[in-house]
Amino acid sequence: MYESLLTRFSQDHPCWDRELLERAGEDAAGLDELTARGLLKERGGVYALTGSGAESFRRAAAEMFLDERPGGEPENAGRCLLTTALWLELERANVQRWGLKRYVVRPDWPVRPALRREEVWRIEGGKLRWLYPDEPRFKAMLAAHPAVPHRRRRAEIPDPAAWAAWRELPGERLGLDLALIVNYDFENYRDFRGHPGDEHRLVNADRFYFSAAATAEEQLDALGRFHRLLWELRRLAIPGYLDCDVHEQDSVNWLIFVSRTRAEADASLARLKALGDELIRPVNPMEIWTLALEDLKAAPDRCEVIWDVLPQAGRPVCLTL
């Protein structure tokens, strides 16, 4: 009994509270029984699997033919709950009936090279200055691999040896909370055989990346890692394919800072806007938005496309220059 409820505690969503489970359509009353049986543990109203619960999860998932792994102890339960709430609201609000949508929870993709904060950005006189483009390895990579216009792109890695060498550099993790990757009219792209450098399956898609970073320092750190990811994709991995699909339609990259309340999102918006277009200038085109979960919850149900949801619920910090 309550196998469906138990299998909610997956690797992507390792902890839940009663409110979120009810929003997901589950009978949260089962939490008491699963806790009494030693399958769940509760702390401050937040539930997670025990060791016995993880074993029961594996059996239930196998019986239900679910390709899921049990969640472990969350490092930051509050942030995990926010990510799960965001995912549930995006699912509720966006149908994407004539395309494909794919979520990547906590995309922990490598970002190279690993750099200390003082090597990435600095605030001088209230103005943002990016430092990472002058880091010797980064500067050499940009000089050796100029931008590739989409009309000259090829469905191959231009310099496999250079990309392989770059991937050997010590890296750090992207550290975002959720990615929503949206493909439109996917039937029109069936003839595209793929790209060997597209390890994250980003070609022919719009990409919306969400971060729960809450302070100015955390947000600039997240943005600095995002910059370096975009540079690697544009210059080494999939040159010419990141910003334009195979039918020469724009593909977007949004970084969205998520808060629970509108007041928190407003504070984030004001703080970031004060830094101006320099936030995105090195890696334009991209966009930065803020989003309050409070506003996303007010979005209508079952909108056909994500463009009927995020631009209405979110607020822009920087638009493509």
**200-252 tens-digit pLDDT:** 999 999 999 999 999 999 999 999 999 999 999 999 999 999 999 999 999 99
CA distances from 142 to 103, 162, 279 (A): 30, 12, 19
Whole-number pLDDT of residue 217: 98
Residues 82-91 have a mean pLDDT of 98
Q: What is the pTM of this model?
A: 0.96
Task: Please check the confidence at residue 177 and state whether its pLDDT lies above 90.
Answer: yes
| pLDDT over 70, % of the chain | 100
Closest residue by Cα to residue 209 from 122, 289, 305? 289
Closest residue by Cα to residue 316 from 288, 296, 294? 288
Coil vs helix vs strand at 270: helix
Whole-number pLDDT of residue 188: 81
The answer to whether the CB of 114 falls within 8 A of the CB of 190 is: no
Angstrom distance (rounded) from CA 265 to CA 317: 11
Residues 261-271 have a mean pLDDT of 98
Angstrom distance (rounded) from CA 68 to CA 8: 9
When the pLDDT of each residue in the chain is averaged and rounded to a whole number, the result is: 96
Angstrom distance (rounded) from CA 46 to CA 67: 24
Where are the chain's structural domains? 3-74, 91-318
Closest residue by Cα to residue 26 from 35, 41, 36, 16? 16
The answer to whether the CB of 13 falls within 8 A of the CB of 105 is: yes
Other beta carbons within 10 angstroms of residue 203's beta carbon come to 21
Angstrom distance (rounded) from CA 298 to CA 252: 24
Angstrom distance (rounded) from CA 307 to CA 311: 6
Task: Please check the confidence at residue 98 and state whether its pLDDT lies above 90.
Answer: no
**19-60 tens-digit pLDDT:** 999 999 999 999 999 999 999 999 999 999 999 999 999 999
Whole-number pLDDT of residue 2: 86
Whole-number pLDDT of residue 50: 97
**52-83 tens-digit pLDDT:** 999 999 999 999 999 999 999 898 999 999 99
Tokens 């060791």 correspond to: 51
**Domain 3-74 falls under CATH 1.10.10.10:** yes
Residue by residue, DSSP assigns 200-226 as T--TTSEEEEEE---SHHHHHHHHHHH
Query: Residue 48: what are its φ and ψ, rounded to 5°?
Result: -145, 165
